[in-house]
Structure 1
Amino acid sequence: MSDRKPDRDMAKGLAAFELPADLLYLNSAGQTPRLRAALAAGADALRRSAQPWRESMCDWLARPERVRTLAAALLRCKAQALALVPSVAYGMAVAAQQLQPRAGQTVLALADEH
């Protein structure tokens, strides 16, 4: 049995978001609150993009590789098995080009999403 206290865990989780203490926000769709860490990372990215000449190409290329490494650890696979693409649509198009359906097989796609 865990020695964690649910109230302490809840408080820690809530503290990760920029929410007023008297607000309960229950919408996990596209309007979800952002983590404080995500806000900080976004602000940092905007600062870097404001003066792109200050960043070396090596540093610029290292960030996506770090994301790939972290995602691989989360997914328990090798980083080389993951591809970073600029959009879901592009990724799906690349994946679809690799499909070789046999006669009688069907590939399903959402209406108007191809």
Structure 2
Amino acid sequence: MIYTSHAVKIITIIIPTWNHAQFLEKAVCSVLAQTSHLLEILVCDDGSTDDSEQVVRGIGDSRIRWNAEMRGGRPTLPRNRGIRESRGERIAFLDNYDEWFHKKLAKPLRCYRDLQQGDYP
């Protein structure tokens, strides 16, 4: 039996949103403050009429992608759209009004990195 260690190449954090511009900057910045820099943040808007897009774009980090479509299924459709648009090997979700503690991703990513998988012929 051969054992190999796998490291996460990139993790996508999907943040579905609808008219929560007042919370978005804190939510996105809490992800950017994580100890892992192998992140893609995908903010999936469901037709906001406030300045959510300007808030997110104003953060100015290349790891953030804005994905907007017309309103229709909050938060289910934006979450599913985020999964389809994801470039990451792993996916996590963050609600647009929430914030992560500084090392939220550290333990799960360490566990995944240390995971030993068998290679069966």
Report TM bin, short chain.
under 0.3
Q: TM-score, normalised by structure 1?
A: 0.24
Greater RCO (CA < 8 Å, at least 6 residues apart): 2
Structure richer in helix, relative to its length? 1
Structure number with larger C-alpha Rg: 1
Normalising by structure 2, we get a TM-score of: 0.23
